[in-house]
Amino acid sequence: MRDSDLTKLLGWPGYRVYRHEINERAKTLKLWIRRKRGNKKLVCSGCGRRLDEAHEVSEREVRDLPCMEFRTTVMVEVYRVCCPDCGVKMERVPQLPSKAPFSKRFEDAVGQACESAAARQVALRFGLAASTVRAIDLRYLERWAASRRKPALARMGVDEIYLGKKQKFITVVSNLDSGEPLWFGRERKKETLDQFFREELSAGQKMRITAACVDMWEPFRLSIEQWAPNCRIVYDKFHVMQHANKAIDEVRRAEFFRKGGRLRELVKGKRWLLLSRWVNLTASKRRELNQLFALNRKVFKAYLLKESLDRLWSYHYEGAMLNYLQRWVDQLRWQRLEPFQKLAAMLLDHLEGILNYCRTKVPLGVVEAINGNIKALMRRGRGYRNLRYLLLKAQRMATLKTEFVVLRKVA
């Protein structure tokens, strides 16, 4: 095979093959390449300045995309330049985005594979270590993030996610309009969210935030009030219902678990049933739940309370919403369901923010979806020690989903 044909196959703009080696047994192809004669302009990798003269030349070996069944390695001639601003620097070569021994398009292929498969599987497919795959994926995502325009932030979500015993909680700030997470911070204090406002947003950007969906968690409210003066706080359905689920779980435990014995065996594994909405259950699951209710009236009552609270968000007028909430709280009288009484007190304490749902439109279900994505990623990746990587991964996932929805609409 002639080097000129291999140059065409290689397809690196401005570069030509001047030597090659094919090893049939090992199924490897090695190409030595250098700049084409007309391609003389060098670019400083430090500042992007164009330079005419090379300081010195050296060779780099990178893995490129395979050619047929042959694993392909490229030996590239690279130059150092003597830049008036940066001193002696490497030249910038588009196919060599980092110091790692891979071409850009090889890293792109690995990064794309990581979008639909776990790093371990990708590692197996490409014959790399899983840690190498993760490092490549992170660079791929960083390049993607640097190249795209960030959507404006008008309606934000603030949430906490429990990462496990070691990392505890992280605070997640998301953009409800684009449906993606924007920032992760360690812990869930006021200082955590303060840091986001201080470091990530300009004064103008802070002014342009109109609404925030948050949990009924004082530190978050205080931080938002301090930094985003035009922002309305909305305690949305998702967050309130999380508390309702906690309440029903407490009732269940008090009624069955602590009693032990035969009853305890009966309700084992029914926890998620109680946390599910009735409409989402199959006939057989409803029967199971009814059996449970026959055993204990309090659990039944608690379940009804949770179900009926859900309907609070079907009202779009403040007065009607307030009325419904009042009736819901009234139902609690004489029930001796302490977890729900606590919940009712909490709701009344945060009434403004709950009614803000009628005053400010916020997209429902977005916070929930973002949370779900992050948790799915963590399950698949078996924990991310690098929060930046987890954030980029979740952002990429969110944008891929939007693209998918757009495509479906067109079709």
- Binding residues (CB under 5 A) for Zn ion: these are 44, 46-47, 49, 83, 85-86
Strands 211-214 and 155-162 come out as parallel
**CA–CA–CA angle 395, 401, 402 (5° rounding):** 95
Smallest distance, Zn ion to C-beta of residue 88, A:
10
The CA distance from 346 to 215, in Å, is 11
Is the CB of 93 or the CB of 135 nearer to Zn ion? 93
Is the CB of 83 or the CB of 201 nearer to Zn ion? 83
Smallest distance, Zn ion to C-beta of residue 108, A:
26
Is the CB of 46 or the CB of 101 nearer to Zn ion? 46
Is the CB of 82 or the CB of 377 nearer to Zn ion? 82
Smallest distance, Zn ion to C-beta of residue 80, A:
11
The CA distance from 225 to 78, in Å, is 54
Strands 232-234 and 211-214 come out as parallel
For residue 103, which of 73, 127, 70 has the smallest C-alpha distance?
Answer: 73
Smallest distance, Zn ion to C-beta of residue 60, A:
19
Computed on alpha carbons and rounded to an integer, the radius of gyration of the chain in Å comes to 29
300 HSE (CA, 13 A, CB side):
11
The CA distance from 113 to 374, in Å, is 19
Is the CB of 91 or the CB of 137 nearer to Zn ion? 91
Smallest distance, Zn ion to C-beta of residue 43, A:
9
State which amino acid sits at residue 194. D
Structural tokens at position 131: 């840690």
Smallest distance, Zn ion to C-beta of residue 93, A:
15
Is the CB of 85 or the CB of 349 nearer to Zn ion? 85
